[in-house]
Amino acid sequence: MRSKATSRKKGLVFLNTRVLTLEEANSRAEVVVTDGAMLLYVGGQDDVDRGLFNDREVIDLGGRMVVPGFIDSHLHLMELARSHSGIDLAGCESIKELLSLLKEEGGRLPRGQWLVGYHWDESRWEEGRHATLEELDRACPDNPVFLKRICLHQALVNSLTLERAGLPREVTGLFYNPKTERPTGLVQERAKSRVESCLEFSEQEMLSALEEVQKRLIALGITSVHHISSNFSLIKKFAETGKLLLRPYFCPTWDEKTGVAWYTKEKIAPSMKSGAVKFFTDGSLGAHSAALLGPYTDEPDNLGQLYWEEKGLQEALVPLHKAGHQLSLHAIGDRAILLVLDAMEEVLERYPVKGHRHRMEHCELVPEGAIERIKKLGLTVSAQPNFVSMWGQPGGLYQKRLGLDRWRRMNPLAEFLRKSIPLVFGSDGMPPGPIYGIHSAVNHPVHESRVSPMEAISCYTKAGAYSSFEEDSKGTLRRGKLADLVVLSHDPTTCRQEEIKDITVVMTVLDGQIVYNTLREETPP
């Protein structure tokens, strides 16, 4: 983070800019004036009262574009913070490279200390497979290893880790080699959670990591996040330190043993708002655990995992729905999507509620007829367009997992908008970055699924505010709303679509304060 304003002036004035207000279709402005944390004026340069410039810092943006602060509508802040404690494996291109990193890191650690890594993705490795238990044991024989896959649903472990975690043979998600009957080193779902519970992070370590994560997100133009987690206490403590700048919309995850860890709104810091209750109905395509109607192309005996029966899901949803809580249902595979729609149809038929804004998270492999049902139920779709660039390109992971026909049906973003279904964008941290997401949505490999740059920006701003019931205070730029805005190096709506990925965030303004600024280092567009 290059600059954090401590200006004694009462506001900011942005001149010589192109402002995309998103108040109406293609609505534009030329001047923005803030008054403390609020927007005082958004409009034309000929209509502005020049007296508003008095006692305010005037900034000439050199024709650059201003958009509302980006809202990442699906993020795990604590997961990003924990990843700071380990080695980043996102850049690994082979098992050989992975094992070399582990051997080097293990040589620096005391014997017996955990070696933790994050973000590996075997679909990008030369070998096209994950590392084995034996390979991990040879690379790191003296330290327990826990390496979490980028999708968060799988991890790689060595023998020391299995011993330390004490996993029973029958635990769900512990994989065995059918020939040797030995563990493969791959764990997912419950087995992964059991191992992960053995890791220890100090409170100070996590608070410091949260501060670094926040800097990273703000530099990407993100001013609000929909934080999905079963634990909000550390975020609250971070807020109490006075260092929390982001605006979290807290979405607790439902637990099969305890239900939801309920809390009163008075216990949440002023900058935090309670949000939707998250349910998992399946896993991920990368982990072969997304629930499918037909088998995986690369694992013909596997239909993935469905975590609920329809009746059980209904029974869990009904009391929350009746109490007025927003629901958020993770469903990636077509079988999981149908389960969610069947359950929600029953819940809403028995207890009809208007304006519920219940959400479907991911909603990637959409079965025939499902979009019409989503529209009828009034559901919001929370999609991750960055997945399209990461795994949805021709010949990529999605096509390998699903085959050509199902690959073409993945993430039909434009179809949701054509049916006037509320569509919000987030990243799931894979990786975070609205510009990357906008580029991915606009350049979808399936032409019929592409959205316009204007639509993509709206999904990261206006729609995100709607999905958290905050459209009166954020998501667009007009007088009386929060002064959360982002300055971009170039206009995504006018540049070549394939060049959107090269746009940079020049400045981020949050709560009327400049919290990120590279303006002096940029040359005018």
Section 14-27 average pLDDT: 90
Q: Which phi and psi (to 5°) does residue 324 adopt?
A: 90, 15
Neighbours of 140 (CB within 10 A): 23
Mean pLDDT over the full length of the chain: 92
How far is it, in rounded angstroms, from Cα 186 to Cα 351? Answer: 42
How far is it, in rounded angstroms, from Cα 42 to Cα 19? Answer: 8
| Residue matched to tokens 């900058």 | 271
3-state secondary structure of 240: helix
pLDDT band at 4; cut points 50, 70, 90: very low
SS3 string of 323-388?
Answer: CCCCEEEEECCHHHHHHHHHHHHHHHHHCCCCCCCCEEEECCECCCCHHHHHHHHCCEEEECCHHH
pLDDT tens digit sequence for 69-123:
999 999 999 999 988 888 999 999 999 999 999 999 999 999 999 999 999 999 9
**Nearest CA to 424 among 458, 470, 473?**
458
pLDDT tens digit sequence for 173-216:
999 998 888 999 999 988 998 999 899 888 999 999 999 999 99
pLDDT band at 256; cut points 50, 70, 90: low
Per the rule left: phi > 0, alpha: psi between -120 and 50, beta: everything else, 296 is beta
How far is it, in rounded angstroms, from Cα 124 to Cα 415? Answer: 29
pLDDT (0 to 100) of residue 7 = 46
How far is it, in rounded angstroms, from Cα 57 to Cα 32? Answer: 12
- Whole-model pTM: value is 0.92
CATH of domain 1-69+475-525: 2.30.40.10
Residue 303: Cβ-neighbour burial (10 angstroms; 0-12, 13-18, 19+): middle
How far is it, in rounded angstroms, from Cα 346 to Cα 362? Answer: 21
How far is it, in rounded angstroms, from Cα 386 to Cα 432? Answer: 8
pLDDT at 267 > cutoff 50: no
Non-local (6+) Cβ contacts of 147 within 8 A are: 89, 98, 116, 117, 118, 120, 155, 156, 157
> What's the distance, CA 209 to chain centroid?
18
Section 430-458 average pLDDT: 97
How far is it, in rounded angstroms, from Cα 183 to Cα 179? Answer: 11
How many residues does the structure list for the chain? Answer: 525
According to the CATH classification, is domain 212-474 in 3.30.530.20?
no
Neighbours of 180 (CB within 10 A): 10
Q: Which phi and psi (to 5°) does residue 337 adopt?
A: -60, -45
* Topology of domain 86-196, CATH: Diaminopimelate Epimerase; Chain A, domain 1 (3.10.310)
pLDDT band at 368; cut points 50, 70, 90: very high
**Nearest CA to 78 among 244, 216, 213?**
213
Give the domain ranges of the chain. 1-69+475-525, 86-196, 212-474
> Same topology for domains 86-196 and 212-474, yes or no?
no
8 Å CB contact between 171 and 191? yes
**Nearest CA to 488 among 219, 280, 235?**
219
How far is it, in rounded angstroms, from Cα 224 to Cα 75? Answer: 10
pLDDT band at 289; cut points 50, 70, 90: very high
8 Å CB contact between 386 and 362? no
How far is it, in rounded angstroms, from Cα 414 to Cα 412? Answer: 6
Structure-token pair, residue 278:
């998250």
